[in-house]
Chains A and B, each alone.
Chain A
Amino acid sequence: MKNSAYNFASSLSKIQKHHIQLFFMTLTIVMLVLGAGAPVDFGGVSK
C-alpha cells in the first residue's frame, strides 16, 4: 500500500515536472518567435 502511494506520488511529481518544463519551453519559443517575427496583421477584414 505504501509502495503504491509512493509510486503514485513519484509519477505525479514527474508528470508535473515535465509539464512545467514543457510549459516554459513552449513559452520561451513563443516569445522568441513573436519577438523575432514582424508580420503585419489586419485580422479578418475583407477587401
Chain B
Amino acid sequence: MILLTAIGFGLLAGIAQAKYHQTTWQLPQLQHAWIVAVFILPQVLAFYLPVTRSNLSVAVVSACLIFSQVGLLLFCLINWRQPGMIILAAGLLLNLVVIVGNGGFMPLSTDTAARLVPAQTFANMKVGSRVSLSSKDILLQPETIIFPWLSDQFIPPDWFPYKFAFSIGDVFIGLGAFLLLSLPISNVSPSQERKF
C-alpha cells in the first residue's frame, strides 16, 4: 500500500512536472526488465497465489524470498544510472540484510504488532511464526531480532485509518521509486520521449 502510493505519486509528479515545464515526460530506460519478471515469480508463488502459498514449507518460502530479492538487487545494479535506482537498491539491500539475518523473513517485533492490531488479534498471533501466509514478516520478541533497526518498526500515527508497519528499507524503496518516475532523464533517445 505505502509502496504503491509512492509509485502513484511518482507518476503524477513526473507528468505534472512535464506539463509545468511544457516539455516531455520520459520513460525510464530500464535494461533487462525480464530479470524483474523472472525473479518476482518465486515471490508470486510464495506469497500471492493462494494455491501455492498454502502448500509451500516455511523453508521454501524464505528461500524464495531471498532468491527473488537477490535477483531484483542485480536488476537494480544493472540499472544504477537511472535516477533513484541507487536509493531503491540501498533500500532493497537493507531489507535483504535484515531478512537474511532473521531466518529468511522480515522481523516484526511483538511491541510493534501490539501497537498495530487489537488485543484479541494480537493474542492469537504466535511468536516465531509468520504473520500471515501473504506476509513476508515473522513475529519475534524484540530482544531476539538481529538488526532490529532495519526491521518493520515504523507505524503510521494513531489517527491514520490504515494500519501497517514498514522498515527504513521500505522508505528508501518508496523514495527511489518516486524519484525513478518523477525525475527527468537526460540521456533518453528521442523515440522514447512522449509529450503529455
By a beta-carbon cutoff of 8 Å, the part of chain A in contact with chain B is 18, 21-22, 24-26, 28-47
| Residues in chain B near residue A29, CB distance under 8 A | 7, 28, 30, 177, 180-181
What separation, in Å, do the CA atoms of A40 and B133 have in the docked complex?
A: 12
Q: Of residues A32, A36, A42, which shows the largest number of chain B Cβ atoms within 10 Å of its Cβ? A: A36
Asked whether any CB of chain A lies closer than 8 Å to the CB of B140, the reply is no
Q: Could you tell me the distance in whole angstroms from the C-beta of B1 to the nearest C-beta in chain A?
A: 6
Cβ A37 vs Cβ B174 within 8 A: yes
Cβ B164 vs Cβ A42 within 8 A: yes
Cβ B167 vs Cβ A25 within 8 A: no
Q: For window 148-179 of chain B, which residues contact chain A by CB distance below 8 Å?
A: 152, 158, 161-167, 169-170, 173-174, 177
Q: 6 A-B residue contacts at CB 8 Å? A: A29-B30, A30-B7, A32-B177, A35-B40, A45-B116, A45-B117
By a beta-carbon cutoff of 8 Å, the part of chain B in contact with chain A is 1-4, 6-7, 11, 27-28, 30, 33, 36-37, 39-40, 43, 68-69, 72-73, 75-76, 88, 91-92, 95, 99, 106, 108, 115-118, 121, 131, 135-137, 152, 158, 161-167, 169-170, 173-174, 177, 180-181, 192, 194
The residue that B167 contacts in the complex, of A35, A38, A42, A43, with Cβ under 8 A, is A38
Q: Main secondary structure on chain A at its contact with chain B?
A: helix
What separation, in Å, do the CA atoms of A46 and B158 have in the docked complex?
A: 9
Q: Of residues A29, A35, A41, which shows the largest number of chain B Cβ atoms within 10 Å of its Cβ? A: A35
| Residues in chain A near residue B73, CB distance under 8 A | 36
Q: Could you tell me the distance in whole angstroms from the C-beta of B98 to the nearest C-beta in chain A?
A: 9
The residue that B115 contacts in the complex, of A18, A34, A47, with Cβ under 8 A, is A47
